[in-house]
Amino acid sequence: MAANDLSGKAALLIGATTGIGRATARAFAAAGCNVAFAGLGAEEGRSLEAELREGFHIGTLFMEVDVRRDAEVREFMRRAVERFGRIHAAVNNAGTEGRFAPIQDTTAEDFERIIGVNLRGVWLGMREQIPHMLAHGGGAIVNTASMAGLNGIANVALYTASKHGVVGLTKAAALELGKSNVRVNAVAPGPVDTGLLHRMVGGHIDIATIAASVPMARVAQPQEIASCILWLCTEAASYITGHTLAIDGGITVG
């Protein structure tokens, strides 16, 4: 079996109805992997479920989940295990952009929502995924951070803080699990052509201006991030843990 072949295995994705998560679900399905995925938006979820089943002939499970609610995250994990038996890979991708504003103009509601989705959601996902993987001989977890988890970005302070938190969770978990055959990594995308980016900067910064600030002179497409997430979950990345992979066209190099 090739190092990047996941045929017959199962992946669990949280935050997969749109954007990077949706592209990641397609990438796992194309690799032959059964896919359990969660997110908000029943219509988007059902359409993706049909696309994966019909296009890739793999097993699927979709559940609408608010990642801030531990009971919903726990129930999704239970259903995925019931459906597929063992989960080999997990991706914690749910995220929200928050308000584009200086920190003094943000609110307590902004804080609770952004930290709740972007950081609490990742923690809740890992809290369910890790015991399962420990009990079944290992696995791979990938958390979606951001270049905002590596650098500071003005006017999205809460988003930046949440993504720094994701990087920290990833590092700590990797150290805790180093001897257990459970690998934990993160990806740190730069600007990606998704609804999140357009909502985040809409009315403030033109996408062309953002593209011009990237050394590669363009924003990424979701599938470019998805392919890296997939790779981190395969045996091709078997000696990588605790790493945050920047996928940013060179932005953080400077």
Q: What is the pLDDT of residue 246?
A: 98
CATH number at residue 85: 3.40.50.720
Residues of the chain with pLDDT under 70: 1-3
pLDDT in tens, 108-145: 999 999 999 999 999 999 999 999 999 999 999 999 99
- SS3 track for 234-246: CHHHCCCCCCEEE
Nearest residue to 145 (alpha-carbon basis) of 126, 133, 161: 161
159 labelled catalytic:
yes
- Chain centroid to CA 81: 20
pTM of the predicted model as reported, rounded to 2 decimal places: 0.95
Q: What is the pLDDT of residue 3?
A: 66
Q: What are phi and psi of 61, to 5 degrees?
A: -150, 130
Is residue 188 included in any domain, yes or no?
Answer: yes
HSE on the CB side for 220, CA within 13 Å? 25
H helix or E strand, kind and range, residue 142: strand 139-144
Mapped onto helix, strand or coil, the DSSP state of residue 185 is strand
Q: What is the pLDDT of residue 182?
A: 98
Q: What is the pLDDT of residue 12?
A: 98
Among residues 157, 159, 169, 219, the one annotated as catalytic is: 159
Domain count across the chain:
1
Q: What is the pLDDT of residue 2?
A: 63
Residue 104, domain extent:
10-245
Is residue 16 included in any domain, yes or no?
Answer: yes
Q: What is the pLDDT of residue 203?
A: 73
Q: Which residues pair with 246 in a beta bridge?
A: 188
Q: What is the pLDDT of residue 148?
A: 95
CA distance 170 to 123: 9
Burial of 109 (0-12, 13-18, 19+ CB in 10 A): exposed
H helix or E strand, kind and range, residue 35: strand 34-39
Is residue 1 included in any domain, yes or no?
Answer: no
